[in-house]
Amino acid sequence: MARPKVPLISKRKALEVALDIIDNEGVDALSIRRLAERLNVNGASLYHHFENKEEIVVGAAQLALAEIRTPQTHDDPWRVWILRNARRLRQAFREHPDLVPVMLRRQPLQIGAAQVDATVALLEQENVPTGAIIPMLEALELYAIGSALHEAQSGGAGVGQEPDPETAPHLTRALEQRALSADEIFDMVCEKIVDTVIVATIERGSAPAKAAAPAPSRKPTRRTRSNKTST
């Protein structure tokens, strides 16, 4: 179908509405016709911006990942922003769980490819061993996915539905006395992922002359039980 010469709606507005449909009704519910109905336009109007549904889904996934950015300067230590991006990635997966299968196909679809390339370039400039970069990014992404999906399925409780104190008194007590929030656990594990990958890479002789040393361990500070992630 030929694209209209003048767009009736903006591309971003169309992607925002598409993302809303995906979040509330699922990826399968999204179609050119359904999106056009929500935007109150003719379906042909969408072809000014998109070739097909797949292109809309990819655009919605890119919009969901928009907050995960590579810094433009070296103002923050690389560990600070790489862990910040891991938290933002987890938040994106928590807010848009139906896009997880799409995001997992991000390489073939080139979702975020330019952003990842910029991240690799900046990490290399920071003397992070090149051999450590992809394993580190993959491990952080996989953990972000697992953490987000687990929380989505458990409603934030961490163990599924709230247990019955009568039938599961030990679990109930353990939940009431938990010392670390889900956010704290996520941060701690991500820090260990980064340091472990760096050390393993250096031990295998894959590090440059100025390899990034592991960050010193720190004791976690106790927070409230809130599972909201700060971005």
Q: Is 2 helix (H, G, I), strand (E, B) or coil?
A: coil
What's the DSSP call for residue 42?
Answer: -
Please tell me the least confidently modeled range out of 92-101, 133-142, 173-182, 211-220: 211-220
* Domain 72-203 architecture: Orthogonal Bundle (1.10)
- Split at pLDDT 50, 70, 90, the class of 209 is very low
Of 3-7, 41-45, 212-216, give the range with the top mean pLDDT: 41-45
By the 10 Å C-beta count (0-12 exposed, 13-18 middle, 19+ buried), 216 is classed as: exposed
> What is the predicted pLDDT for the residue at 73?
76
Per-residue three-class SS string for 174-200: HHHCCCCCHHHHHHHHHHHHHHHHHHH
Could you report the per-residue pLDDT of 17-53, keeping only the tens digit for each? Answer: 999 999 999 999 999 999 999 999 888 888 888 989 9
- Split at pLDDT 50, 70, 90, the class of 228 is very low
CA–CA separation, 226 vs 214, rounded Å?
29
By the 10 Å C-beta count (0-12 exposed, 13-18 middle, 19+ buried), 24 is classed as: exposed
Q: Is 160 helix (H, G, I), strand (E, B) or coil?
A: coil
Could you report the per-residue pLDDT of 59-84, keeping only the tens digit for each? Answer: 999 898 888 888 877 788 999 999 99
Q: Angle at the Cα of 110 (from 35 to 82), degrees rounded to 5? A: 105
- Split at pLDDT 50, 70, 90, the class of 229 is very low
> What is the predicted pLDDT for the residue at 225?
44
> What is the predicted pLDDT for the residue at 158?
54
CA 26 from chain centre, in angstroms, equals 18
CA–CA separation, 20 vs 33, rounded Å?
15
- Residue 170 gets the label, from left (phi > 0), alpha (psi -120 to 50) or beta, of alpha
* Domain 11-63 architecture: Orthogonal Bundle (1.10)
> What is the predicted pLDDT for the residue at 104?
77
> What is the predicted pLDDT for the residue at 216?
55
Contact 158, 182 (CB under 8 A): yes
By the 10 Å C-beta count (0-12 exposed, 13-18 middle, 19+ buried), 81 is classed as: buried
Question: Between 12 and 104, where is the model more confident?
Answer: 12
Please tell me the least confidently modeled range out of 12-16, 104-108, 117-121: 104-108
Dig out the tokens for 167 from the structure: 């039938």
Mean pLDDT for 75-104 is 90
Could you report the per-residue pLDDT of 146-168, keeping only the tens digit for each? Answer: 999 888 776 555 555 678 888 89
Q: Is the pLDDT of residue 222 over 70?
A: no
Is pTM, for the whole model, over 0.95? no
Q: How far is the CA of 112 from the CAs of 58, 101, 106, 107, 136, in angstroms? A: 10, 15, 7, 8, 17
Domain ranges for the chain, please list them. 11-63, 72-203
Q: Is the pLDDT of residue 197 over 60?
A: yes
Question: Between 200 and 44, where is the model more confident?
Answer: 200
